[in-house]
Amino acid sequence: MEDVTVLLNSQRRFYGTGKTRNIDFRIRQLVRLRESIIKNEADIMEALKKDLNKAPFEAYATEIGMVLEEINYLIKNIKMLAGTKKVRTPVTHFPSASRIYKEPYGIVLIMAPWNYPLQLSLSPLAGAIAAGNCMILKPSEYAPCSSRVIGKVIREVFPEKYIAVVEGGMEVNQRLLQNKFDYIFFTGSVSVGRIIMAEAAKHLTPVTLELGGKSPCIVDETANISLAAKRIVWGKFLNAGQTCVAPDYILVQEKVKEVLIKELNRYIRKFYGKDSVHNEEYPKIINERHFNRLLSLMKNEKVKGGGNYSSKLLKIEPTVLEPESIDSPIMQEEIFGPLLPVLAYENIQEAAAFVNNRPKPLALYLFTTSKRNERFIMKNTSFGGGCINDTIVHLATSHMGFGGVGESGMGTYHGKESFSTFSHSKSVLKKSNFLDIPLRYPPYKKKIKLL
Ligand code: NAD
């Protein structure tokens, strides 16, 4: 407790010097972060291999590359994002001018999960740097090699009074949360998200919660089934299904169900081979607890493809399942692993009702060539974000915000949304002293007639 308080006090003192408010300072720190990531690239790749068996291509495309892109966007746009914005003023306030000033919150706590340990730590961190804050970053203990390398990347270039990495387990989070921060950015499960929000409420600290849930993938009879299967298999089995926006389950129109299942299995074999468990490029499950949880979810379901696993390697084949019923355990919790249940529906209204009867998902994917069905789903379902005729890629852009809605989270980030998330918008009206219209001042008698 004492060490956290000491650290926070040193950050408060540093923040109080006003150094982080300078835009050139922020740009220099973003450049330093970029250089440190590039310098440590080999160590990062090795850590991701050890923690999750991520292949170098996947590690670069979904972690390092995404963070670098975010940093580059922020460096390029920071002056525009941080600039004071002049806005219109209602005529009733004449003569005056209105401006919105962007200011940093102060000390930000960022807590990250283990599945994309680098990206989900350093992307929000880059946004918080750009907005001019000091930061404490807490990576997940379940990806210990990545947590260590993140510590190295940061400590090599930043003093703790500006950016500190605090490593450790859940008890460290709890200790951190007993302190007052000016902003908390949490990525993780819905259940821990509730705890974070309750703790933040004690200090009235604003939060962004990037959570999870069951993201549906709807495939209708008009879809290009083969291409849909290819893109679903890619998005679902990336990182062995341990992706917050992975399609959790498929809702497919009854008529095309069997052909879709056939195509899913064809692409699984094409991408990962006949023996995916021993495929060097196929990621592992993070730990034994999650491995056993996934096996128990699979236990009573009809396997339509895959189903093999290795307890020694903590790997489970990409597996297509047909749930016994919609009340099966696999349809109750976020799967977060390489198991893909396929359920059939008859018409698009039924598919939308299925989604709407459950907590609002983080992502929704729709495969269709029907404009009518596209309009219907966009208008009648609520979800954090998603794709039409693809999976996952909606988050790989600095031009759209990424985040959940309802139980899948609150707040967005990436690109300009990251800057807004970590900044307070201070609205200020400046009045002229040359003219003072007397209408608003008491006594009000008779003035009511003028309104
Ligand atoms: P988690 O909620 O178990 O852990 C996240 C962080 O919270 C870790 O740093 C952990 O140490 C900490 N934590 C755990 N229990 C705590 C407690 N009782 N009090 C305080 N802190 C605690 O999540 P996870 O298993 O690391 O990640 C998987 C979940 O994260 C999935 O639900 C997934 O959908 C979600 N996720 C969401 C996003 C997103 O961007 N929306 C991204 C990745 C993962």
Dist. CA 167–CA 311, nearest whole Å:
28
* Whether residue 186 is found in the same domain as residue 222: no
Is 449 a member of any domain? no
Q: What is the ipTM of this complex?
A: 0.95
* Whether residue 204 is found in the same domain as residue 230: no
pLDDT digits (tens, 9 = 90+) for 188-201: 999 999 999 999 99
C-alpha torsion sign, points 178, 184, 185, 188: positive
Determine the pLDDT at residue 190.
96
The pick from 115, 191, 360 for probing ligand 1's pocket by mutation, whose C-beta has the most ligand atoms within 8 angstroms, reads: 115
* Whether residue 109 is found in the same domain as residue 185: yes
CA distances from 443 to 35, 94, 439, 440 (A): 65, 21, 10, 9
Q: What angle do CA 418, 421, 425 make, to 5 degrees?
A: 120
* Whether residue 203 is found in the same domain as residue 226: no
**Residue 201, domain CATH:** 3.40.605.10
Q: Which atom, in ligand 1's list, is nearest to the CA of 113?
A: 26
- Of 134, 217, 244, 387, the catalytic one is 244
- Ligand 1 atom 40 nearest Cα: 210
112: CA distance to ligand 1 center in Å? 7
For residue 244, indicate whether it is catalytic: yes
Q: What is the mean pLDDT of residues 93-122?
A: 97
pLDDT digits (tens, 9 = 90+) for 365-379: 999 999 999 999 999
- Ligand 1 atom 31 nearest Cα: 189
CB 428 near ligand 1, within 6 Å = no
Residue 134 CA, chain-centre distance (Å), reads: 21
CB 211 near ligand 1, within 6 Å = yes
CB 127 near ligand 1, within 6 Å = no
Average pLDDT, the chain: 96
* Whether residue 31 is found in the same domain as residue 172: yes
pLDDT digits (tens, 9 = 90+) for 231-276: 999 999 999 999 999 999 999 999 999 999 999 999 999 999 999 9
25: CA distance to ligand 1 center in Å? 32
Domain that holds residue 90: 1-211+408-428
pLDDT band at 451 (very low <50, low <70, confident <90, very high): low
Is 386 a member of any domain? yes
CB 188 near ligand 1, within 6 Å = yes
For residue 263, indicate whether it is catalytic: no
Dist. CA 127–CA 279, nearest whole Å:
36
Determine the pLDDT at residue 373.
98
pLDDT digits (tens, 9 = 90+) for 303-327: 999 999 999 999 999 999 999 889 9
Is 400 a member of any domain? no
pLDDT at residue 355 is higher than 80: yes
For the chain, what is the domain count?
Answer: 2
pLDDT at residue 445 is higher than 60: yes
* Whether residue 10 is found in the same domain as residue 136: yes
Its pTM stands at 0.95
